Structure formats: C-alpha cells, structure tokens
Amino acid sequence: MTHTNLYILGIESSCDDTAAAVIHNGKILSNVVASQEIHAQYGGVVPELASRAHQQNIVPVVHQALHGANIDKNQLSAIAFTRGPGLMGSLLVGTSFSKSLALALDIPLIDVDHMQAHILAHFIDEEGKTPPAFPFLAMTISGGHTQIVKVTDYFEMEVIGQTIDDAVGEAFDKSAKILGLPYPGGPLIDKYAQEGNPKRFKFPKPKVNPMDFSFSGLKTAVLYFVEKETKENPNFIEENIADICASLQKTIVDYLMDKLKNAVKKTGIKEIAIGGGVSANSGIRKALKDAESKYGWKTHIPKFEYCTDNAAMIAIVGELKYRQGLFTSSEVTASARLKY
Ligand code: KG4
Ligand code: ZN
C-alpha cells in the first residue's frame, strides 16, 4: 500500500521542550519548539515545573505548527508522539494530548521512541542531503543519553556501547555549573571554546570498555581543578574561561571520537551518523567532518534545529511507521525508561 499524501503531526514533550511539527511526504512543513526558560534559575530541569509548562504550551505550540504548515487539523493523517524515554510527568502531557486528539479526529496514533527519533531525524527529506545508508553507526549524544547504536534498518537497532554513568550532555552541563555558567551550559562551553586554547589544560579520559563511556570522573576532575586554581587566584575562572572551555571541549570530543573509532574497528562500518543535543557542538561537528578525509568515513551531521529536542524528528518517525503500518493502540501509556 502506498500513501501519497500524508500529513503527520509530531509531538515531543519528553524533557523541557514542548514541540510540534508537521511533515508532508518526508518534508518538514513546520517545526515549532517552546523552550522552558524557568529551569535556568534552578541550574537544571525541575520535573514538576516542566510538566506544568508543557500543559501551558502544548495547545498553542500545536496550533502554531498547524498554522505554519498551512493546514487544518482535519487534513492530518496521523498523530505521532514521544512515548519515552524521558521524564514521566512531561511524557504524560504529550501522550494524553496526542491520544485525545487522535481519538477526536478519528485518525491513527503512532508512538515514537525519543532516542530512535534522534537517529531517524537523518531521514527527513532535505535539499542536498543524502540519508545514511544501512548499516550505519549512530552515536546519540544528549543530556540524557550517550550511546553507539548499530542501525541495520529503520527499526532494527542494537546498542553496542553506552555510558556507565553520566550522559555527555550532563558532563557539559555539570562542568559549566562548576564554572558558574547558567543551565544548559553545553552551548556556552562551546561558545567560549571557540576563543580558547584547547591544549592549555589537561583533563582525564576515564578508562572503560572500548565502546562504553564514563563521564562522572570528568566532572569531579573539573571541580578539583577549579577549587585548586581559585585558591591561588580567585579570578582564575574569569581570566581563563575560554582556555578552560576549549580544553574541556577537546577532552570530550577526543573521547567521543576514540569511542567511534573503536566501534568502526569492531564492526567494519564506516557510515557514521550523530544525533542528540550535543551533536550541535562545533567541536564534534568539525571532528566528524575531518574524519571523512582522515579515516575515509562517510559522516552525517544533522541540521542544527534537528539536533536538540524537536518534533520534526518525531514526525519523520511517524511517517516511516505509518508507511509500514506500525500504529499504536489508544491504550498506550507513557514509558519513562522505554528501550528499543
Ligand atoms: O537532545 P537534547 O536537546 O535533550 C535531551 O534529550 O537530553 O540535549 C540537550 C543537551 C544538553 O545537555 C545541552 O547542554 C547539550 O545537549 N548541548 C550542547 C550543545 N548544544 C546543546 N552541548 C555541547 N555543545 C553544544 N553546542
Ligand atoms: Zn533528546
């Protein structure tokens, strides 16, 4: 069965971004994200506040996505939503909203795994971009996850390496917090790093299995380093912020690249894609581009707005599942620890 004229609404509410997008035959017509500013003052996401903000945002965000796509809700073919993993209270808002809307419009409901969506975002139809060819390796690097996944088909994925403690985004955010930067600190470390000397300071790279990751030691190392240096010079951070950020970013990027190299060696697969919020990082983007000529890899880096949490990636999974007839019962419940 071929479906030529699909309009799918994607809804994402797993963490602190309320997002909605409309996809039409692989092309994104609208992609709306309401980020929740409220968490910055607490230095991290407060789950209770997140779910309340989702409740306030979801109707206007969906409305804006439909308006931006220039379609009426009655034209929708299906609703795709993030079922998990994520914060339970946040997931529940998107899940119950999607279930009700699908029921009201009498159209299919499609559940989406957030981490699969970060990977499948590469299949959004974009001018001048070729999607990854199967099999490929996907490194998903976000605030909640750090994994290397072997992808043999759209929905055939195997996790071959992962973090044993913190996610890489947490390593960025927690280090940034120690440096007195507001949440989320990842983009700020990236910004300061552009002006700094990456070779000035040395941070440790934790030793674990070749394709696994560990980041909790790095955060402790940053803490001790900052404590020691500020004892000698109370202005140490302000005077050296660019060099600290550049050195820290280099350590993390080199570590991620080491893990990818190990995975390529183990699997023989040189088709590489990245996804998740940390793939917005300029250091990892450059390292991957360089790997094309250096190691003969074919690399896929998502467009900026498809890196951090968004609903376009949920919508593309919705379309891929629709075309395979993979629908969800209206009995479906949110799952904070969903695993594929
Ligand atoms: O995928 P995402 O939006 O949400 C999760 O599912 O976790 O990822 C958010 C994470 C945060 O830790 C944020 O600091 C990090 O992505 N991030 C970055 C950059 N932009 C976002 N980390 C480093 N450099 C960036 N440019
Ligand atoms: Zn994410």
Task: Say which residue the tokens 């994925």 belong to.
Answer: 157
Q: Which of 286, 312, 309 is nearest to 299 (CA)?
A: 286
- Compute the distance from residue 104 Cα to the ligand 1 centre, in Å: 35
Residue 121 CA, distance from chain mean position: 10
Q: Which of 254, 255, 238, 245 is nearest to 189 (CA)?
A: 245
Let me know: does 271 contact 133? Beta carbons within 8 Å: yes
Positions in the chain short of pLDDT 70:
1-3
The secondary structure of 114-145 as a DSSP string is: HHHHHHHGGGS--TT-PPPPSSEEEEEE-SS-
CA distances from 190 to 138, 173, 299, 314 (A): 22, 11, 21, 26
Q: Which of 94, 98, 92 is nearest to 79 (CA)?
A: 98
CA distances from 193 to 50, 252, 314, 324 (A): 30, 12, 31, 44
Counting ligand 1 atoms within 8 A of each CB, the residue from 14, 39, 142, 188 with the most, and so the one to mutate, is 142
Q: What phi and psi values does residue 332 have, to the nearest 5 degrees?
A: -55, 145
The structure tokens listed for 130 are 């070729």
Q: Identify the pLDDT of residue 64.
A: 97
- Compute the distance from residue 15 Cα to the ligand 1 centre, in Å: 12
Task: Say which residue the tokens 């990854």 belong to.
Answer: 132
Strand arrangement, sheet containing 109-113: 27-35, 17-24, 7-12, 78-84, 109-113
Q: How far apart are CA 105 and CA 213, in angstroms?
A: 44
Let me know: does 115 contact 147? Beta carbons within 8 Å: yes
CA dihedral 33, 38, 42, 45 (to 10 degrees): -30
Q: Identify the pLDDT of residue 44.
A: 78
| DSSP annotation of 333 | -
Q: How far apart are CA 291 and CA 200, in angstroms?
A: 24
Q: Identify the pLDDT of residue 272.
A: 98
Q: How far apart are CA 278 and CA 298, in angstroms?
A: 19
**CB < 8 Å & 24+ apart, contacts of 289-293:** 291/257, 291/260
Residues 6+ apart with CB under 8 A from 232: none
Respond yes or no on whether the N-terminal peptide bond of residue 135 is cis (omega within 30° of 0). Answer: yes
What would you measure as the largest C-alpha separation in the chain, in angstroms?
A: 71
CB within 6 Å of ligand 1 — which residues? 15, 142-144, 169, 172-173, 184, 186-187, 190, 276-278, 280-281, 308-309
The structure tokens listed for 158 are 């195997």
Q: Which of 301, 275, 276, 270 is nearest to 287 (CA)?
A: 301
pTM more than 0.85: yes
Task: Say which residue the tokens 């808002």 belong to.
Answer: 93
pLDDT single digits (tens) 202-219: 999 989 999 999 999 999
Counting ligand 1 atoms within 8 A of each CB, the residue from 308, 313, 314, 338 with the most, and so the one to mutate, is 308
The secondary structure of 11-47 as a DSSP string is: EE-SSSEEEEEEEETTEEEEEEEEE-GGGGGGTS--H
Q: Identify the pLDDT of residue 46.
A: 84
- Give the ligand with the smallest distance to the CA of 190: 1
Task: Say which residue the tokens 């279930």 belong to.
Answer: 99
Q: Which of 306, 16, 19 is nearest to 184 (CA)?
A: 16
- Take atom 5 of ligand 1 and give the residue whose Cα is closest: 143
- Take atom 3 of ligand 1 and give the residue whose Cα is closest: 308
Q: Identify the pLDDT of residue 38.
A: 80
Q: Identify the pLDDT of residue 2.
A: 60
Collapsing DSSP to helix, strand or coil, 213 comes out as strand
